[in-house]
Amino acid sequence: SLFRLKDLEVPKLGDSDVHVKMLAAPINPADINMIQGTYAILSPLPAVGGNEGVGEVLEVGSRVSALKPGDWVIPADAGLGTWRTRGVFPEEMLLKVPSDIPVLCAATLSVNPCTALRMLTDFETLAPGKPSAKQEEFWGDLPVFSAMKIWICSHPGDSVIQNAANSGVGQAVIQIARASGVKTINVVRDRPDLPQLVERLVALGADHVVTEEMLRKPEMKDIFKSTPKPRLALNCVGGKSTTEMLRHLQPKGTMVTYGGMAKQPVMVPVSAFIFRDVRLRGFWMTQWRKDHAQDQESVAGMMDALCQLIRRGQLTAPACTEVPLQDYRAALEASMKPFVSSKQILLL
């Protein structure tokens, strides 16, 4: 029992501080890893858990200019400690988000959708297939995707393959790829409720959903009749799942690893390097934020693109189970169970 609920005094509001009433905060795998001491960031103890969430500004210090009472804010970086009802934070630790998006979308915005968008745009230039009129209109407003227009005329469209496709990042990848005309091949573990999961991912916009076992089967050839082999693979599992996924990557394709849920290393056949020249990269959202701390334009552009997708109904919050803060133990336990397709969200 590393965790307990405690009543603390809210600290005095400094000139550059913001008093925030937290509204909702999810439990993510990285939060659990931080508690277990297996993550790259370790907070000095005692610490408040939670790296993600949304709150409402109650009051601001005299030097705070960008925020006012009533604004919604999310953490600008990991380690804020969002599993609390109220907090006083320096202004630079918070990012303003529009309050006209659903609260669960805002609460789950700063980690998974940002990770998905960065991985889809920073490693390979993915070309969309023939766009719909809706996508044409969508690209008109968003510089993030405008470069893709160049490819439209001649290209059948690129595809992405990802494992743990039912994770928060996986669901965001499916939706952002769909909005930008890129096909997705989604790998999930076999499970008792597989048909329901497949149906849910297809409803989000998944082009193909396959189990890890299917990756080895000849039927994969049928998928590649209608969908080009992927140029980008996204891996948050490791072990056998990754090796199998890599077999389907195009020559000179890139595999990006952003997690290791199987707790096993990434094994790559030598032939994949020599004969197909595949690239292996890593991604950590926290590092991206550090690298772009002085580049507010990039951060604002990313948040803007995601909020526009949310407003258009093209990006929804992952499947969520809402839990009052006092039931945090049940929520923590539920978030560590295998085959969970619902994210635990603490209501504060």
Q: Which of 69-78, 144-153, 199-208, 294-303 has the least mean pLDDT?
A: 144-153
Pair of tokens at residue 315: 């990006």
- Would you kindly state where each structural domain of the chain is located, as residue ranges? 17-108+317-347, 112-286
Confidence of residue 340 (pLDDT cuts 50, 70, 90): confident
pTM of structure? 0.89
Cis peptide preceding 11, ω within 30 of 0? no
Check whether 114 has a pLDDT greater than 90.
yes
The pLDDT of residue 155 is 61
Compute the 3-state secondary structure of the chain and give helix, strand, coil in percent, each to the nearest 5. 35, 20, 45
Return mean pLDDT, the chain. 91
Catalytic residue annotation: 39
What value, to the nearest 5°, has the Cα angle with vertex 114 and ends 247 and 159? 30
Check whether 153 has a pLDDT greater than 50.
no
Report the relative pairing of strands 17-26 and 86-90 from DSSP bridges: antiparallel
Check whether 148 has a pLDDT greater than 60.
no
Average pLDDT over residues 303-322: 95
**Contact yes or no for 186/170 (Cβ under 8 A):** yes
CATH for 17-108+317-347, options being 3.40.50.460, 3.40.50.2300, 3.40.50.1370, 3.90.180.10: 3.90.180.10
The architecture in CATH of the region 112-286 reads: 3-Layer(aba) Sandwich (3.40)
- pLDDT for 160-171, tens place per residue? 999 999 999 999
Average pLDDT over residues 320-329: 92
* Interacting residues of 303 by C-beta distance below 8 A, sequence separation 6+: 95, 97, 109, 114
The pLDDT of residue 141 is 60
**Contact yes or no for 73/93 (Cβ under 8 A):** no
- pLDDT for 276-290, tens place per residue? 999 999 999 999 999
